[in-house]
Amino acid sequence: MKNKNISSISEFGLIDIIKKQFATAKNNKNIIVGIGDDSFCFKSGKNNICITKDMLIEDVHFKKDWITPQNLGEKAIEVNVSDIAAMGNVKPEYALIGLGLPPKTSEIFVKNLSNGFKKACDKYRITVVGGDTAKSDKITISVTVVGLCKEKVIKRNGANEGDIIGVTNTFGDAGAGVTLLYKYGAKHKYNKDEYFLISKQNNPKARLREARKISKYLTSLTDASDGLYISVDLLTKDSDKGADIYMDTIPISSSLKKVFKEDKKQLNFALFGAEDYELVFTTPKSKSKLLKKLVPEISYIGRINSSKKVEYFYNGKKQKIKYAGFQHF
């Protein structure tokens, strides 16, 4: 057997190796959502229980100098709540926090990190119920959030032909923010717009309230943790459909427009910049106005079709878009 190393396999390829291994084990009648969605969900009595698990590793997901320990703690919770929000109307209830810390870590750092966990957990009324600590070379935070859902969970695979594709807020900000940090570091004096982009990277907010308001009208749903391009790809592939995306309608913040003036750059961040944690969903066209009334920060960016291809249009012209995103491996 040819023995590749995993840097030649993508992160998604790696998940595929593991998914394949466990594909046969999926026929458990209580499992509502198995491997490969934003959260795992199973039935327990009248409840659906959703569980998510996301790791943040120093120098992979963050640099210690770029983010305050409190923001880091908040973010570790928010990104998990975002995965919970991506299942629809789910109430996050409990968190387990696994912490790997280098022995030289200061007690103040741990306290501030813990303050961040607490701030985000208090906001969502999540109870921290356990965890695990260990020594490690790099700061490693592995959070598990448990949510309860009394309604149907919204998977990635329910998009229908003719549905329109909606998103919340703006895209590309977090990716632009991390680009600024890479270029100028944390100590640079940033202006207000640059600071907005950086805070979208360092202090993201899960769209739980928004998901709760609109979930019953949605046919599919995910959160954009790896860029809009990947989110659209996941929704269409899992639904066995295609889509037309109108790039002119992708919402871009005024800050992103001011800091990176080129259209092409803005769209590049929007499609391939990770960590926006905005909702990406499909809904019947008939519901589009209602949803925008419920959540004014919604924009519509495209339409589902039966082609099994995702095509991108800009000013009415078809564009060749190649995946150019960030993957861990």
- Long-range interactions of 322-328: CB distance < 8 A, separation 24+: 323/229, 323/230, 323/272, 324/268, 324/272, 325/226, 325/227, 325/229, 325/230, 325/271, 325/272, 325/273, 325/274, 326/226, 326/227, 326/272, 326/273, 326/274, 327/10, 327/11, 327/12, 328/11, 328/60
Spatial separation of the C-alpha atoms in residues 17 and 207, rounded to whole Å: 31
Examine residue 208 and tell whether it contacts a copy of itself (CB under 8 A).
no
The residue (of 69 and 166) whose beta carbon lies closer to a copy of itself is: 69
Examine residue 328 and tell whether it contacts a copy of itself (CB under 8 A).
yes
What is the amino acid identity at position 130?
G
Examine residue 309 and tell whether it contacts a copy of itself (CB under 8 A).
no
Angle at 325 between CA 101 and CA 164, to 5 degrees: 115
We find the least distance from the C-beta atom of residue 44 to a copy of itself, in angstroms, to be 4
Out of 1, 187, 261, 262, the residue judged to bind a copy of itself by CB under 8 A: 1
Out of 63, 64, 68, 96, the residue judged to bind a copy of itself by CB under 8 A: 96
Span 47-86, contacts to a copy of itself by CB under 8 A: 47, 49, 51-55, 57, 59-61
We find the least distance from the C-beta atom of residue 233 to a copy of itself, in angstroms, to be 18
If you search the block for the tokens 């990104």, which residue do you land on? Answer: 79
Residue 262: both structure tokens together: 């080129």
Out of 77, 86, 90, 99, the residue judged to bind a copy of itself by CB under 8 A: 99
We find the least distance from the C-beta atom of residue 109 to a copy of itself, in angstroms, to be 8
For 123, counting Cβ atoms within 10 Å of its Cβ (0-12 exposed, 13-18 middle, 19+ buried), the class is middle
Name the nearest CA neighbour of 175 among 260, 32, 255, 273: 273
Span 112-141, contacts to a copy of itself by CB under 8 A: 114-115, 117-118, 121-122, 127-138, 140
Name the nearest CA neighbour of 176 among 70, 267, 77, 73: 267
The residue (of 134 and 320) whose beta carbon lies closer to a copy of itself is: 134
Examine residue 150 and tell whether it contacts a copy of itself (CB under 8 A).
no
Out of 69, 88, 92, 100, the residue judged to bind a copy of itself by CB under 8 A: 100
Span 229-258, contacts to a copy of itself by CB under 8 A: none
Out of 182, 184, 323, 329, the residue judged to bind a copy of itself by CB under 8 A: 329
Spatial separation of the C-alpha atoms in residues 165 and 43, rounded to whole Å: 29
Residue 59: both structure tokens together: 């120098």
Span 12-41, contacts to a copy of itself by CB under 8 A: 14-15, 17-18, 21-22, 25-26, 28, 30-31, 34-37, 39-40
The residue (of 115 and 288) whose beta carbon lies closer to a copy of itself is: 115
* Distance spanning both ends of the chain, measured CA to CA: 21
224 within 8 A of 325, measured Cβ to Cβ: no
Examine residue 142 and tell whether it contacts a copy of itself (CB under 8 A).
yes
Count of chain residues binding a copy of itself (CB under 8 A): 81
If you search the block for the tokens 């022995």, which residue do you land on? Answer: 103
We find the least distance from the C-beta atom of residue 130 to a copy of itself, in angstroms, to be 4
Out of 81, 85, 97, 267, the residue judged to bind a copy of itself by CB under 8 A: 97
The residue (of 27 and 315) whose beta carbon lies closer to a copy of itself is: 27
Residue 144: both structure tokens together: 């598990």
Out of 45, 65, 183, 320, the residue judged to bind a copy of itself by CB under 8 A: 45
Piece of 103-111, 183-191, 294-302, 317-325 that binds a copy of itself (CB under 8 A): 103-111
Q: 105 pairs with which residues across the strands?
A: none
